[in-house]
Amino acid sequence: MDTDQTLRTFTDFFRERGHETVTGTSLLPPPQDPVLFTTSGMHPLTPYLQGRPHPQGRRLLNVQRCLRTTDLDEVGDATHLTVFEMLGSWSLGDYGHPQSLRWGYELLRDGFGIPAERLYATVFGGDDQVGPDDESLRTWQELGVPVELTGEDNWWSNGPVGICGPDSEIFVWTGDGPPRRTPTTDPRWVEIWNHVHLRYHRHEDGRLEPLRRPGVDTGMGLERLLTVLQGRRDVYEIDLFEPWMRTVPSLWDLDERSTRLVCDHLRSSIVVTADGVRPSNTGRGYVLRRLIRRLLTSLYRDDSSRGLAELPRELIEHTLDHFRQTERADLVREVLLDEERRFGQLLERGRRVLSRTEFRARPLDEEDYAYLHDTYGLPRELVAGISAGCR
Ligand code: SER
């Protein structure tokens, strides 16, 4: 099943069951929101999950682009991405958690064609404040899906305070041969869908207060789902990355990890730029700047003549198209090239300063890093890169 079919299957399924598609999927949360970027499908819906009526009703669905930079050092492995899309469905005090689990099972088995015997669920087993989630346990047993009970792995919260509740995660067997063991004891069980029963509000003092109107919040990462549906182990092998993996290795001869990092960071930089962010030294702009500079550092590592001028317009267009962004590809390209020019100038300055004898003669210490930053505007990462031999 390709990306378009997968997206259509998901949205049709929930529309047929009375869900309205939430509009507005930008990576930028509303102005009063403390976070820099949207990190999950439910994030923009938080006020409505807390009780405010939503103008589109009580059954919602969404395909939300998200940006996560907490795992930046993992990018380059077979599964981590900075920008991804989350398929979500919500009941704002409408249907209950068992209904959500039943629909989840039906969509995975009948809609996406995942054999029932390759599914496993985990359920909250209880802790010292909240009892086991018997309702979910019973639902899975009625559906004939094997269940594993866990503790905090099946408790979802948005932070130390705020809405939270027990969740039930659905896993798919991705190993060769028949399924073995359980989700917590064999990594070949891959979690693809989380159904949260938002039942509580946690106060500062740790106390849980039951919500007057409990809700259901589900989230499923599109790229991970596609990896499973397309029988891949590596997210970069799914159809969505085909233009990237066809183009980037033929442009630049990089090792596998660097190829993945360059693809991931370039794709994210395009999406973030098209959502209106410009590189800068603070906030969102700094995140974008870091993404671009990290990918350039990988690109220049063994050939400083490489550059973004070689990036084909089609890759930018493909990305904007997929994320349904209306920004012009030429403008995005100009922002990337402009940042590359600035980075080039900074690198030049860094090389000049670091070639001075006082820095060449010994390893750099904390004082040097602070001096180079404060006097020449050279970021630590860049200095470390140059002194490690990165041209
Ligand atoms: N909030 C849950 C998650 O992020 C489900 O959407 O996993």
**Residues 36-74: tens digit of each pLDDT:** 999 999 988 999 999 999 999 999 999 999 999 888 888
CA of 283 to the centre of ligand 1 (A): 24
What values do phi and psi take at 113, rounded to 5?
Answer: 75, 25
Coil vs helix vs strand at 137: helix
Instruction: Specify whether the CB–CB gap between 337 and 308 falls below 8 A.
Output: yes
Neighbouring residues of 175: CB distance < 8 A, sequence distance ≥ 6: 186, 188
Which residue CA neighbors atom 2 of ligand 1 most closely?
A: 219
pLDDT value for 361: 75
d(CA 26, CA 277): 11
pLDDT cut 90: percent of the chain above it: 79
- Rank 129-143, 302-316, 350-364 by mean pLDDT and report only the highest: 129-143
Å from CA of 87 to ligand 1 middle: 10
**Pocket flag, ligand 1, residue 196 (CB < 6 Å):** yes
Q: What are phi and psi of 91, to 5 degrees?
A: -115, 115
The overall average pLDDT reported for the chain is 93
* Rounded Cα gap, residues 278 and 335, in angstroms: 7
CA 227, CA 237: separation in Å to the nearest integer? Answer: 8
**Closest ligand 1 atom to 219 CA:** 6
| Segment among 2-6, 20-24, 119-123, 182-186 with least mean pLDDT | 20-24
At residue 122 the predicted structure's pLDDT band, cuts being 50, 70 and 90, is very high
Residue 390 has a pLDDT of 46
User: What is the rounded CA–CA span in Å between residue 197 and residue 123?
Assistant: 11
Asked if residues 183 and 194 have their Cβ atoms less than 8 Å apart, the reply is: no
Q: Name the maximum alpha-carbon separation found in the chain.
A: 74
Mean pLDDT check: name the lowest of 140-154, 244-258, 305-319, 357-371: 357-371
Taking the centre of ligand 1 as the mean of its atom positions, its distance from the CA of residue 259, in whole angstroms, is 29
- Give Cβ neighbours of residue 345 (< 8 Å, ≥ 6 apart): none
pLDDT at position 82 is 96
Using a CB cutoff of 8 Å and minimum separation of 24, what contacts does 336-342 make? Answer: 336/269, 336/270, 336/273, 336/292, 336/308, 336/311, 337/308, 337/309, 338/279, 339/279, 339/288, 339/289, 339/292, 339/293, 340/292, 340/296, 340/307, 340/308, 342/279
The CB of 215 under 6 Å from ligand 1? The reply is no
**Token digits of residue 368:** 């040097």
Query: What is the dihedral sign for C-alpha 281, 285, 290, 293?
Result: negative
> Is the CB of 39 within 6 Å of ligand 1?
no
- pLDDT tens digits for 206-234? 999 999 999 999 999 999 999 999 999 99
- Ligand 1 centroid–CA 389 distance in Å is 42
Length of the chain: 391
- Best residue for ligand 1 mutational test, from 14, 39, 40 (most atoms within 8 Å of Cβ): 40
- Regarding the beta carbon of 217 and ligand 1, being less than 6 Å apart is answered yes
> Ligand 1 centroid to 341 CA: how many Å?
39
Compute CA distances 391 → 358, 379, 387, whole Å: 19, 15, 9
Tell me the three state secondary structure of residue 104. Answer: helix
Identity (one letter) of the amino acid at 313?
A: R
- Which residue of 62, 84, 86, 197 sits with most ligand 1 atoms within 8 Å of its CB, as the best mutation to test the pocket? 86
Ligand 1: distance of its center to the CA of 311 in Å?
Answer: 34
Q: What is the pLDDT of residues 18-44, one digit of tens each?
A: 999 998 789 999 877 888 999 999 988
pLDDT above 50: residue 187: yes
Q: Which of 173-177, 178-182, 192-196, 300-304 has the lowest mean pLDDT?
A: 300-304
Q: Is residue 270 very low, low, confident or very high in pLDDT (cuts 50, 70, 90)? A: very high
Residues 323-333, mean pLDDT to the nearest whole number: 96
Which residue's CA is the nearest one to ligand 1's atom 4?
40
Question: Cα 242 to the chain's mean position, in Å?
Answer: 19
pLDDT in tens, 346-360: 888 888 888 887 777
Q: How confident is the model at residue 300 (pLDDT cuts 50, 70, 90)?
A: confident
Determine which residue's CA is closest to atom 6 belonging to ligand 1.
219
Q: How far is the CA of 170 from the centre of ligand 1 (A)?
A: 12
With vertex at residue 341, the alpha carbon angle to CA 339 and CA 346, rounded to the nearest 5 degrees, is: 95
CA distance 290 to 301: 16
pLDDT of residue 104 exceeding 90: yes
Given a contact cutoff of 8 angstroms between Cβ atoms, the answer to whether 97 and 136 are in contact is yes
Q: Is the pLDDT of residue 391 over 50?
A: no
Specify the ligand 1 atom closest to the Cα of 88: 6
How far does the centroid of ligand 1 lie from the alpha carbon of residue 45, in Å? 11
Which burial class, exposed, middle or buried, applies to 45 when counting CB atoms under 10 A from its CB (0-12, 13-18, 19+)?
buried
Give the distance (Å) from ligand 1 centre to CA of residue 113: 23
Phi, psi of 171 (to 5 degrees): -115, 150
For ligand 1, whether the C-beta of 218 sits within 6 Å is yes
